[in-house]
A and B are shown apart, each in its own frame.
Chain A
């Protein structure tokens, strides 16, 4: 109990220490509420993107943003630069230039650009692309990375406690661990075992369990008002799918490669064509289906929930404030409940398909 309390205390302390309440007077929409459809669209689009600070809310009347600033770590032409994201003063239009000695950086549409040598302001072409600045490799602790770290921390705490319980000799876990144990059993008995096979599933359990809970927790975090959209970042889902692909490509059995590259039982002429199809299937199509499914589901979910919440503003003219708010509330609640299901479902499907593909790769045929 003491250990648990101290961990909670430290977590709160860390959160407080990185909190920076920044107030910024240079706001474009000063005195302007976000109430037009274009603004709402922009707002949702902005939310779906990753961001460099942890934005909680903005008071447009006074132009006050309340947010955590997060560390920015970028690899520029002049080496590694680190500073806090508060240096951008919540600017996202490339107007605030952060001077890091020999490098000038701007933030534009949630991306950090490095200005070319000699340039002092960003100039744009007709598609609003910067002409005198280029993107940098951005290893920042963005909101998504922060979400991942948070999910990882939660997993380590929760499942670490479960593991410690067993180590202490408890056969039946108590407290919150009792909730976690059936989930672990579920992944093992319903996902890994039937798809990979009794003999080989153990090797892949660490990956499958980690990915399942990682995705699930991140999906659920996305439903909180904190507004994480980690599993809706294409880079994240690409990475997850690539992990699956690398794992099943490197653990393929002899039979798997024999069947993939030189399919027995079909005419020899067809075999190279089949090999090509199979290889493309395993290297491109299967990971692509994994990454797109997760990305699209989560992005769509966030989009729909936010749009429904925005109904209360967009429909105010047509139905009046009470009706539009009520409608928005009911619909948003309904979709949120579905999203809770989807959060689990997408984690389940990703893990399920991963273990299915792994199962295909490690399968050994004893006939022929």
Chain B
């Protein structure tokens, strides 16, 4: 211990303190500050690049997701449109059928009515014809058979009775 203390040189201590202090200051100014600054900024640059790459990747993913979504939407829209079109077609056919049916039934009814009225007219015409014929026949009969009064009456009665059957 004594030799250790004896070896301790105050002058060397002072010189060392001075040199170390000056060296720290010089190194800070000329080396450590620029070096650490450059290292920091380089690390920051790398971090930024990594971050932006990550962000680009995320954007890309988002874009892809968007695309997929849009595709999905378009697909459903198409489906819907197709469905609508199909429905419309069915409806139109249905409507057309219905209309056709209606028209047909109308026509039929009309036709039936016409037929009926024609029939009636025909019957009426027939009746009138028959009446005229009857009258003519009666005329003739009357003309021929007017001599016999009894016969005449009998004839009229028979004829009338036949007539009423119609």
Contacts and interface: CB of A to CB of B under 8 A. Distances in A.
A11 interface: no
Contacts of A149: 19
Tell me what chain A mostly uses at the interface: helix, strand, loop, or mixed.
helix
Contact of A138 (B11, B28, B38): B11
B4 A234 contact: yes
B39 A233 contact: no
Contacts of A49: 7
Contacts of A142: 12, 15
Nearest to B31: A159
B88 interface: no
Nearest to A208: B32
Interface size of B as a range:
20 to 34
Contacts of A21: none
Chain A interface residue bracket vs B: 35 or more
B7 A148 contact: no
Interface stretch (A161-169, A324-332, A352-360): A161-169
A239 B17 contact: yes
B12 A160 contact: no
Nearest to A233: B12
Contact of A163 (B13, B15, B24, B35): B35
Contact of B32 (A152, A205, A234): A205
B35 A152 contact: no
B14 A159 contact: no
Contacts of B17: 239, 242-243
Given A156-B26, A159-B27, A145 B12 contact: yes
Nearest to A140: B11
B10 interface: yes
Given A137-B10, A236-B13, 7 more contacts: A137-B11, A148-B19, A155-B31, A159-B35, A160-B30, A162-B31, A233-B12
